[in-house]
Structure 1
Amino acid sequence: MIRKLLFLFALLPSMLFAQHTIKGTFTPAEKFKFAFLYRVTAETSLFVANADVAEDGTFEIPLDSNTIPGTYRLVYAQPQDQFNFDFFVNNKEDIVLNFDIEKGLSFDKSSENKLYTSYNRSMALVNKSIRNYYSSGKEDKAGYTKIFTILKNTQDEFEKASEGMIANNFIKACKPYIPSSLEDVSTFSKNIKSNYFSNIDFGNKTLQNSNFLIKTTIDYVIGFIDRNNPDASYMENIDTVVKAIGDNPKIKAILLEILWNQFSVENNEVVANYIGSKYLLNIAKANNNKELANSITLFKNASIGNIGPDFNIEVKDENDKIKVSKLSKLEGSNNYLLFFWSTTCSHCLDEIPQLKEYIKTKKKENIQVVAIALDNDLYRWKDMTYDYPDFLHVFGEGKWDNPIGDQYNVTGTPSYFVLDKDKKIIGKPENIDEFKAYYEALEKANINASKEETKN
């Protein structure tokens, strides 16, 4: 009897707390195997539950009464950051959705998600009418007024219809700029930009616990730029974002780190270092985020225009004896190439022989190669160095956990750093072909500079 009672109590949690469900159908069914549900927070996504996808493409995930209302993310393939979609869970209704690879996401059941989907669709149609108006090049005051009256009414109706819903936070934040009189396209565009954050409350917890603020911020920073001077536009836009965020340090730190990561991954050193130096490094230090502070510092130190971080190099003296010197002490060349490679990197093994043949055609007083192997196999590395006698060789023991690679912020091999005679970083080509093109242009510029000096 006791055993039966224990079994009954073990079943009670699922019987008592299972309240609503998320059901769905994936199309085409054979492309999907699983569905993982996460709750989105400002910092990360928290795992909630998962389900297998049946042969007909259907799945079902039960929700319990303690499910926290908010934005949720369904992951359906790897990598997770690419194959997912977000929706609202209010824990007041069942959700039935369809996801088609070609057609996207739709809802058969869920008043909240259906309303928000309808809002986005309606606003997209009105915005299309605005674009068509400006594209026509014709002035039609009555038509212009009608379009923006529809836009205002649509916004007002959805705000009212969504009262009390999670979606209301997003609909209000998306409230568009509506001109009070006819504006030409240039004025309209400027006013859209200046009013972009007018209705967004960065302190709103519901917005924070979603992808909304991230997407909105990125869209603003990269969307409103002067094509002739993009970096200046990016930096100006970042300043505007920081001002709009206001006194919300937590979300400010998150958004600035995301922006810094985006520009650093794209190797836009000017903008990444602007974000790091002006804002993010101080925030990282204040939050005792040593890893982030270190990453910002290393990225900046390895940027073009800075003196290359120093490290030991074994060189031969005039008596052909090996001695330990430093990068900063090297002399005799106008330029130096730091070539980071590995004995197990296929791209490196393809490019290093090409580099050898190319360098053979150049004078050592013009360029010297310093090959740093980020590796673990000392004997394999040593054996391979004999094939490249004209290079200066450094063994970067530890591979990705090596101080030289870390100092130069090397995240992949091969990596190229071109230095001038003073060891200042002047170029970072992506591959052997880019290096050749870069160096040919550099050599030509150096020759022309020498000719000018001779004339004078």
Structure 2
Amino acid sequence: MFSQHSIEGIFTPAEKFSFAMLYKSSPTSTEYVNRGVVQSDGSFKIQMDANAPAGIYKIVYALPQEENNFDLIYSGKEDVKLTFSLEEGLVFTASNENELWASYTKSMELINAAISNFYAKESTDEKAFEDIFNTLSDTQKGYDEASKGTMANVFIKANEPYIPTQFEDISTYSKNLKNTYLQRVDFNNELLQSSNFLTDRILAYVFGMSSSTEDTTFNQHVDDIAKAISTTKIGVKSILLEMLWWRFVELEKSNVANYITNTYLLEIAKQSNNNDLLETIVTYRDNSLGEVAIDFPIKISKNGKITETSLHKLDSADHYLIIFWSSTCFHCLDELPKVKAFIEAHPKNLKVIAIGLEDDDSTWKNTITNYPEFIHVLGLAKWDNTIANEYGIKATPSYFVLDKDKKIIAKPADVETLEVELSKL
């Protein structure tokens, strides 16, 4: 049964869009609701069910979903109309809830720009300072009053800014802003948990409250976040900390990512029986720079005799290069000869361990004859191979450079980067 309410809009440019997928967001998941086909003029319309619950909904307009979406508030009491342009972004043209929140955020952006400009000029004009923050206070109070009884009010209250009562220099203001930035946010509110608000707030705190990019600073910010969300349900806590973990992984800040794992996320994954998360964070941690590479068995054949050993027992070189490859991988067959040629042209006390991820040994046996100086390990079951899984291998070729103690000192992404790393040895 459909209600009289709908969510409709216009996408620009129309030819870049084909659908609008609607999802209902909850604190720990999103549920597909309906879809609207984008017409030739860019318009779409999604009729809402009469029983559709109020809350946060998400429109996905392209793939990948996690990068091409936006949130909206649906109260069940009004239509939502909008325009979305790849150049201009999102504008709500009908919906008191969404227009209130959008207008509020725009107003706050303008005032924050004025605050930034005031401090950028190193101004000491106390009257100008007072005027700016009076405007900030009046704006917050005005929108708080205007939004009473709406879902938008939850967001407006959560976003209440720090307002000094007297003149403060940039150092004092920045300190007080940071100290109060998380205080007004109810991390247990399900409406906030269902939106992007908490994610945006956390990222702004972790990355925007200090110019320092030192690991110790980020670790302290992570601790502050963990304290702020300490009373939230474990599912929400897991999502927020995992989001932070992924951000530091993307930034290649492995020390901070592993700090999150060891201090918070590992125990959360265990308590919630989230085995996928547990495997992901442990594999990343155990294969980070500075960690001792995971041991695995090696059989060395020489003069018809097979010697059984392992990575950790090898002591014939100052450095080791582990290569995960496959005899059916075109990139591997292109890069391995380059690796061999580079090593021969730039002799080092280096030993190569080549782990072939294979379905069977037929082509592998023939291919490895081209690399007699390598130590070869046959990794049957290919992507399900135990060694590959322990090393978190998702693609071939993959490279790990180790020192004599088997500590990981580099993980080059390609053969060109590998050559640079080997030149440093």
**TM bucket normalised to smaller:** over 0.9
Find the counterpart in structure 1 of residue 183 from structure 2: 198
Q: Aligned to 2:364, which of 354, 374, 381? A: 381
Find the counterpart in structure 2 of residue 447 from structure 1: none
Whether the 8 Å CA contact 1:225–1:234 is kept in 2: the answer is no
Query: Secondary structure, in 3 states, of the residue corresponding to 1:30?
Result: helix
Q: CA deviation at 1:307?
A: 2.1
Q: CA deviation at 1:39?
A: 1.0
Identify which range, 84-93 or 409-418, moves more after superposition.
409-418
TM-score calculated relative to the size of structure 2: 0.95
Find the counterpart in structure 2 of residue 405 from structure 1: 388
Q: CA deviation at 1:115?
A: 1.1
Matched, 1:434 2:424: no
Query: Secondary structure, in 3 states, of the residue corresponding to 1:216?
Result: helix
Distance (Å, rounded) in 2 between the aligned partners of 1:24 and 1:309: 53
Q: CA deviation at 1:353?
A: 1.7
Task: Give per-residue Cα distances to partners, 1:270-301, cap 9 Å, x unaligned.
Answer: 11111111111111111222232232222222
Q: CA deviation at 1:177?
A: 0.9
Find the counterpart in structure 1 of residue 311 from structure 2: 327
Identify which range, 283-292 or 136-145, moves more after superposition.
283-292
Matched, 1:292 2:277: yes
Distance (Å, rounded) in 2 between the aligned partners of 1:321 and 1:171: 74
* Counterpart code for 2:179: S
Find the counterpart in structure 2 of residue 230 from structure 1: 214
Matched, 1:245 2:229: yes
Find the counterpart in structure 2 of residue 360 from structure 1: 344
Find the counterpart in structure 2 of residue 25 from structure 1: 10
* Counterpart code for 1:247: T
Find the counterpart in structure 2 of residue 420 from structure 1: 403
Size of the aligned set, in residue pairs, is 424
Find the counterpart in structure 1 of residue 108 from structure 2: 123
For 1:273-288, what aligned pairs fall within 5 Å after superposition?
Answer: 273-288=258-273
Whether the 8 Å CA contact 2:79–2:94 is kept in 1: the answer is yes
For 1:11-410, what aligned pairs fall within 5 Å after superposition?
Answer: 14=1, 17-227=2-212, 229-250=213-234, 251-317=236-302, 319-363=303-347, 366-410=349-393
- Mark the CA change 1:371 to 1:147 in structure 2 (over 3 Å): closer, same or farther: same
Q: CA deviation at 1:265?
A: 4.1
Whether the 8 Å CA contact 2:399–2:413 is kept in 1: the answer is yes
Q: CA deviation at 1:433?
A: 2.5
Find the counterpart in structure 2 of residue 450 from structure 1: none
Whether the 8 Å CA contact 1:304–1:425 is kept in 2: the answer is yes
Whether the 8 Å CA contact 2:23–2:34 is kept in 1: the answer is yes
Whether the 8 Å CA contact 2:339–2:415 is kept in 1: the answer is yes
Whether the 8 Å CA contact 1:336–1:369 is kept in 2: the answer is yes
Distance (Å, rounded) in 1 between the aligned partners of 2:110 and 2:288: 45
- Mark the CA change 1:393 to 1:266 in structure 2 (over 3 Å): closer, same or farther: farther
Query: Secondary structure, in 3 states, of the residue corresponding to 1:67?
Result: coil
* Counterpart code for 1:430: A
Q: CA deviation at 1:249?
A: 3.4
* Counterpart code for 2:166: S
Runs of 4+ in 1 over 4 A off after TM superposition: none
Identify which range, 172-181 or 423-432, moves more after superposition.
423-432
- Mark the CA change 1:220 to 1:349 in structure 2 (over 3 Å): closer, same or farther: farther
Distance (Å, rounded) in 2 between the aligned partners of 1:88 and 1:323: 66
- Mark the CA change 1:357 to 1:60 in structure 2 (over 3 Å): closer, same or farther: same
Distance (Å, rounded) in 1 between the aligned partners of 2:157 and 2:322: 53
Task: Give per-residue Cα distances to partners, 1:318-373, cap 9 Å, x unaligned.
Answer: x3423332212222111110112233444433322211111113446x10111112
Q: CA deviation at 1:425?
A: 2.0
5+ long unaligned stretches in structure 1 = 1-13, 443-456
Identify which range, 180-189 or 407-416, moves more after superposition.
407-416
Bigger Rg, structure 1 or 2: 1
Whether the 8 Å CA contact 1:224–1:233 is kept in 2: the answer is no
Q: CA deviation at 1:403?
A: 1.0
